[in-house]
A = this chain, B = another copy of it.
């Protein structure tokens, strides 16, 4: 029996005039790019094309001439603008015919909703001659796979919540059986508290060495306010050897970056801090000025966070710092609102008043106005009260939103470090 040739290369075609308009982006290809990489299939090109029959046929025909696998997303709806079925059939010179089984499924879907099937929806039951149709549990349009012997053409619906489950359930098994044998594996190392260049300085000598190894490891560095992450990946037929090298590379990076690493399992900083608070049965409260509730919002974004978050005070006005947190008016007058003394008083005040184990105080200049030579925009004082009180001054770069995100992340990191040590009971 002949063995089907291996699938090594791919192109993706996103179909729909709306994807050429402003403010719309093809996100399906991100999902597909990642899955193809895992399968060891090289994505050569991505295209976006509008609902024009000739444009669409040309794009499909050109791609089929170049690569082993062509995936289309979109254009499977019931209207005259949905042209993908017709275009693929025309390019392959195959007929398109209503499949009675698919028609029954489409009709049943309308019946369940208690509405008669519009006649246009018959189009969605049209299957390309020789194609296998793919069930769509989350929508009307089935997908299709055409195997020409040396090429696979896969037609998927456009909505991500229909496309993704269909791809995973019906397409991945086909591709896995036909992929070349190289598999991709990954590791992620997330750090906080270091800048991108500080992380690079420590990490680069390590990952450069692994990049030059027998099983080469590719490393990319991604930075956002308060987070620098290293993505390690490699592709090999010998998966055990690959996993071993990735484990060694990851372990060396973790050892070199030390305390800056907060996770190797893709959790967010707030998830890690929440889990550490929960493990120690500690309750946290925060007093926020310049971050205006952002730290509490991030902490309470985690489901189940009521097990470790009591709440807090957004003390945007100085009067609120005095009344709700007990910050001394003399302290505010002597040091100004953005000062170590006020940050400490806020952290200790919210801890005491709310009866928390850990109190956080954040006060700073988020800008764009309000900066001075002594306290420029980006200056933030953060204090964490957990028995002892620690305070630190930061100068964050960027705009208002970035400074606020940096400050919330820095506060989470200070909490993470503070609760590493034993936390005594608060004075309630």
Identify the A interface with B (CB < 8 A).
Answer: 19-25, 27, 29-30, 33-34, 37, 43-50, 52, 55, 59, 62, 220, 222, 283, 285-286, 288, 291-297, 299-301, 303-306, 309-317, 319-320, 323-324, 353-355, 367-369, 400-401, 404
Most chain B CB within a 10 A radius of its CB, from A45, A62, A310, A311:
A311
Number of chain copies forming the complex: 2
Nearest CB in chain B to that of A43: its residue: B20
19 contacts between A and B (CB under 8 A): A25-B25, A44-B50, A44-B55, A45-B48, A45-B55, A62-B62, A285-B320, A292-B299, A293-B293, A293-B297, A293-B312, A297-B297, A300-B316, A310-B317, A311-B317, A311-B320, A312-B313, A314-B314, A323-B353
Apart from A23-B222, A306-B316, A311-B317, list 12 A-B contacts with CB within 8 A: A20-B44, A22-B30, A22-B37, A23-B34, A44-B50, A44-B52, A292-B309, A293-B295, A296-B316, A303-B368, A313-B313, A324-B324
Nearest CB in chain B to that of A31: its residue: B22
Residues of B within 8 A of A50 (CB): 44-45
**Residue pair A292, B297 in contact (C-beta under 8 Å):** yes
A161 to chain B minimum Cβ distance, whole angstroms, is 13
Say which residue of B292, B300, B404 sits within 8 Å of A292 (CB atoms).
B300
**Residue pair B25, A45 in contact (C-beta under 8 Å):** no
Nearest CB in chain B to that of A50: its residue: B44
